Chains A and B, each alone.
Chain A
Amino acid sequence: MNFPKELKYTRNDEWIRMEGDEGVIGITDYAQDQLSDIVFVEFLVDVGESLEQGKTFAAVESVKAAAEVYMPVSGKIIAVNEDLPDAPEKVNSDPYGEAWMARIKISDPSELDDLLDADGIAKLERDH
């Protein structure tokens, strides 16, 4: 399972890539693999909204299950990936690239300390 080193991870299998005080969010390779074919992505927030860590900002549905996607850290939504609802299969093919879900402005960088690094998430999923 692929967990890029430069990303931080939640225990719920979201990832965040830091770019200055902004972060880009998506779900992990492991999550897409567990869900199998993703058929639906829906954003549950509007750009400009601020959400706390752990709040739901998107929902994904696969042929097997539905899952919510949570904010890895608190922040304000700057953009969501508008292409994704029309091409949900990208979550399967490119979970760390084309299938980014939201870009946020981080409000409390200290929350990043709660997150796992690549080794941490790899170990967590191995133990599952």
Chain B
Amino acid sequence: MFLPHTDADREAMLRTIGVKKIKDLFEGLPGEHLFPELDLPPGVTEMEALAELQHIADANETTGELISFLGAGAYNHYSPAVVDSILRRGEFYTAYTPYQPEISQGTLQAIFEYQSMIVALTGMDVSNASHYDGATAVAEAVNMAYHNFRGKRTKVILSPGLHPHYRETVHTYTVDSNILLEGEETPLDSGPEALIPLIDDNTALVAVQYPDFFGRIHRFRELIEAAHQAGALVAVHVNPLALGLLEPPGDFGADIVTGEGQSLGIPLSFGGPYLGIFATRQQYVRKMAGRIVGETQDARCQRGFVLTLSTREQHIRREKATSNICTNQGLMALAAAIYMSLLGKNGLRQVAELNFHKAHYAAAQIATLDGFELVYDEPFFNEFTVRCPRPVAEINEELLSYDILGGYDLGQTRAGLENHMLIAVTEMVSREQIDIFVDALAEVAHD
């Protein structure tokens, strides 16, 4: 609660620090920057303001008007109308975190359903009620592994296939810790096995991505076995939609599964709010940040929901906590839960298949173009890397005149990837639109 100060409060404070008026506090600042006169036009009516703002907003070009092949962690998927319609209900939309949780049965049920579906999708035992986004979920996996070994293992191995923004976030989280980050500079072409020599008995965590940032689907069994032999944990970051088709990481030995949940019915929205998925095995449940909702019966034997586990450190031993971020993306978790329950197991598989087939059609067509080449041989889901005959930024600029939003320019992420484009194809583009894209690429291939 924010209580405004009374004039008496202010005067008492000013007296205590020995100044007469608030303005005296700013004496040290250059006069011309102090309380400048703002040169603002006269006020306008709401109608006029709206028209002006609309005019400004009209300069945006969105995925509504463009055919988009841009992904790299944020994907243009269809979000059924019912997702928005349910999550905008006042009961969900206005409520903040349930401080008196059991009174909010609807919220608890939504979290319970979300957690149950995430567990089924990832092959893990427990899921929390989410983090901010995929990047923070990966960073929390690093935190959890570090605390799991009580700070006695300080090395964390990050795959070069992890999204560069996620790796940056991990660097930010760990900048003032003794955690050593390794592995990011290993060659891109050598596969997950290239990380094995880095694993030792000081390694807390190996973090990989599935499919990786470049779209590749790797097999991780060997890497995971090596990590487990050294006593280290393994975190696998997923695109949850891809799990409609792919083997769940729980089945090949992951200890932690994180994910960017935006693919599950959450709109692009200029980069957020998104959804950080976090699931792990039962044995680590006490180390996981966040909370778990369980199903139970009330005194009248009716189905009800309770906060089964809420990490104690977040309330009491804060300095010992794996994480002090208690806030989750409740509304986005709800959106994902609605999306997943609406599609069901088969529907999710169908959407995944649509993505897979459209992306493979596009890749096959692009591979026939002069000057364009698929860079990697590994299987992929809905995104793949293409070497182009010209800088990607130039190609994308020209594609805009065809109303096409081109792929992600990988040249900005790593040396050696100049002219490399990461192309995402979702269920939102038709075969006809893919053909338009391929034709346009052929036309802009040369200056």
Contact = CB atoms under 8 A, between A and B. Distances in A.
Nearest to A61: B312
Contacts of A3: none
Contacts of B152: 46
B317 A40 contact: no
B218 interface: no
A46 B312 CA distance: 22
Contacts of A61: 312
A85 to B, nearest CB: 10
A68 B316 CA distance: 10
Interface string A61-82: 1000110100000000000000
B317 A59 contact: yes
Given A44-B150, A61-B312, A66 B286 contact: no
A66 B312 contact: yes
Interface in A1-55: 40, 42, 44, 46
Nearest to A45: B150
B316 A65 contact: yes
Contacts, number: 15
Contacts of B313: 66
Contacts of B320: 59
A40 B311 CA distance: 11
A61 B314 CA distance: 13
Contacts of A65: 316
Interface in B286-308: 286
Given A40-B286, A42-B286, A66 B317 contact: yes
A97 to B, nearest CB: 25
Interface string B125-159: 00000000000000000000000001010000000
Interface residues of B, number: 9
Contacts of A59: 317, 320
A117 to B, nearest CB: 30
A44 B150 CA distance: 7
B191 to A, nearest CB: 35
Contacts of B286: 40, 42
B154 to A, nearest CB: 16
Interface string B96-115: 00000000000000000000
Q: Most chain-A Cβ atoms within 10 A of its Cβ — which of B312, B313, B315?
A: B312
A44 B151 CA distance: 11
Nearest to A42: B286
A40 B312 CA distance: 10
Nearest to B313: A66
Contacts of A40: 286, 312
B159 to A, nearest CB: 29
Contacts of A46: 152
Interface string A84-115: 00000000000000000000000000000000
Contacts of B315: 66
A66 B152 CA distance: 23
A42 B148 CA distance: 11
A61 B320 CA distance: 14
Contacts of A44: 150
Given A40-B286, A42-B286, A66 B150 contact: no
A43 B313 CA distance: 15
Contacts of B150: 44
A66 B311 CA distance: 10
A52 to B, nearest CB: 17
10 contacts: A40-B312, A42-B286, A46-B152, A59-B317, A59-B320, A65-B316, A66-B315, A66-B316, A66-B317, A68-B317
Given A40-B312, A59-B320, 5 more contacts: A61-B312, A66-B312, A66-B313, A66-B315, A66-B317
Interchain residue pairs A-B with the least CB separation, the first 5: A66-B312, A66-B316, A61-B312, A66-B317, A44-B150
